[in-house]
Structure 1
Amino acid sequence: MSVTRVILPKLGLTMDEGRLIAWHKKEGERVEKGEVLFEIETDKANMEIEASASGIVRRILLPADASAPVATVIALIADTADEPLPASVAPAPSPLARNDSPAGTGPPLAGAAVGAEASDRVRSSPAARKRAQELGVDINLVRGTGPGGRVGLEDVEAAAALPAPSPSTSALSAASGGKREPLTRMRRAVAEAMTRSAREAPQFSISRDVDMTRANAKREAAGVSYTDLIVAAAATALRAHPRLRSRFDGDAIVMSQKIDVGLAIALDAGLIVPVLRDADRKSLGSLREEREALETAVRSGHARGDAFGGAAITVSNLGTFGVDRFTAIVNPPEASILAVGRVADRVVVVNGSPAVRQVVSLTLTVDHRVADGADAARYLADVAKDLES
């Protein structure tokens, strides 16, 4: 008999544990390789995990709503349904696994404050999350009637029909009179990462205005976005600047051989950074397609685990929000991040005469332990040269 151990996967460099949201198969049911077997929640997103082998789900070792360290064996798949499992492949659940589900059950509720029991880990379908946004319903306050308490479309719509909560049921801070909002898992992860970055990595920033007039013509001809152009330029320039695609590791600097570019995307729950793989080797059209696919996946909560981690640099574009320039904080363990402002018409001097040009402000922030100001200046100059040529 062949037995496959299903483990809790590591979906990012900083992931130490994950929370299992739901099983898509029950014990005794058959699963095919490549079929979604379970969903887990990380600090980045909810992710569907596919079965690595076909067979019968013989044992589930980690229940839904429980957390466990990565690499924990959480289920067993065998090629037979009745043959006894060998004792050597049937471990007991990890003692570190813990159940995170709140106590108590009841009918769907919305609008009622749940105080300390408010969960930022509500299991819900993509359709339910989208509908909740449309109706202005806080999905964290909706109790699901689906399997394992999963929130469905009907639960959200039923919740929207209920009256709004009275002020007496709101979670108010006695000291300030303001509402106390618990951190979501994603917001907590962002807070911890940025605090660690600011505390551990001495950072400096340099800025440069770039003439995007020619780049804009190229953008229109290729049918791509400004972000695509800047990601391509940032990735191509990294080939000649290994320091800027490095990370600090104790007593050494580790230089990445691959040029993967992280793309900062703002969600309601916080900031998420999926990664464009081998960005320096792809055409503008391929970069656009991959970026659009990544954005769709992360916004719907269906990004795969391999969509995160391992970037050599991150690009953060707030130009779409009308921001002229800003300074970003390095996303650890990376050593650099490129902040992009809006492309706007500006009057500049060209050959001694005033002229209107489309200009963008790029601000590069760098971990000073890895690179110096001159390194950063040369790299940013190459990015600008690529965009202006």
Structure 2
Amino acid sequence: MLATGIKTPVGIKIAGPKLKDIEEIGKSLEKILMTVPGTSSVYSERVAGGRYLKVDIQRKKAARYGLNIADVQQVVASAIGGMNVTQTVEGQERYPVNLRYPQDYRDSPEKLSRLPIVTPDGMRISLADVANVLIEDGPPGIKSENARINGWVFVDIEGADIGTYVQEAQRVVSEQLKIKSGYSIAWAGQYEYMLRAKEKLTFVVPLTLAIIVILLYLNFRNVAEVFIIMGTLPLAMVGSIWLMYLQGFNFSVAVGVGFIALAGVAVEIGVIMLVYLNQAIYSMYQTLLKENKPVTKADIQSAIIEGAGMRVRPVMMTAAAIIVGLLPILYGTGVGSEVMSRIAAPMVGGMASAVMLTLVVLPAVFILRK
């Protein structure tokens, strides 16, 4: 809401020159969007539904009595709207004293028409002698954006993610809604924020992966081992996807941030495992070289199993610490919990599958390479 001004997940901003036509387009959108699957409620602002009391001053009639526009407006402003004539002092407090006609004199256009006005000549006339008092329709409030008058449609959704819903809604609206020339609609709300975030994620995610690859290469100086970690990384996402499914979460910007964080932690654990596997292989080579024995498959498997076994406790401790630390955030309630739980969900679910990746898949892939 702070970013777009729309209170609901999805909003539509209708822009055009006339409020009446904007309201009609909004009513049409109400009927169309209620047929879209996932719509919980739709409300279009009644931008032309206000009721106003209008005092239309007749200049020629006022001139006959020696009155100008300002004189009549002064009577209307003071008698109907009220005027501060003085203030009362009560200790250190100050209260204004407002003076206007009683409610019985101004609760209908007919009574207002009989309000007395004193002319400069001392003649007493009624307001109806110099003005027409009537009630007319008008806008309760006028919004504008990009120098164009706006009307907003608020859409609540249920059982669907914002991106999928808006795609379907845009298709239905384009097929059923006919817009006059000079009018346009724009989709806003959380969807508008999601589009902006999606644009950023399109280069943030590849940049993150590129940085991870560079750091891995600087550490191992071996392209094959870098690809072993990066190739097995998607398996760490399996637990995240399952937990999101069980929790009923849809993909969002917060979930994307959680996946980025998970990728970093999963790679970190993989690096720890790969370092010890390399050390185990190196120690095995050194031992066999001293004993002048050939290297066999059994030797390689034995060394890798030994190296992986040394990392079971650190990997389990790392995963357990992350999961236990994030569980209160995942299942917490209160302000902001909707966002925080969606950041935590990929981390909690992903760490469970990352343990299997690190302890089972990574050593198996390393054996195949060796």
Same fold (TM over 0.5): no
Report TM bin, short chain. under 0.3
Task: Provide the TM-score with structure 1 as the length reference.
Answer: 0.22
Higher RCO (CA < 8 A, seq sep 6+): 2
Judging by fraction of residues, say which structure has more helix. Answer: 2
**Larger strand share, 1 or 2:** 1
- Whichever of the two has the greater Rg, that structure is 2
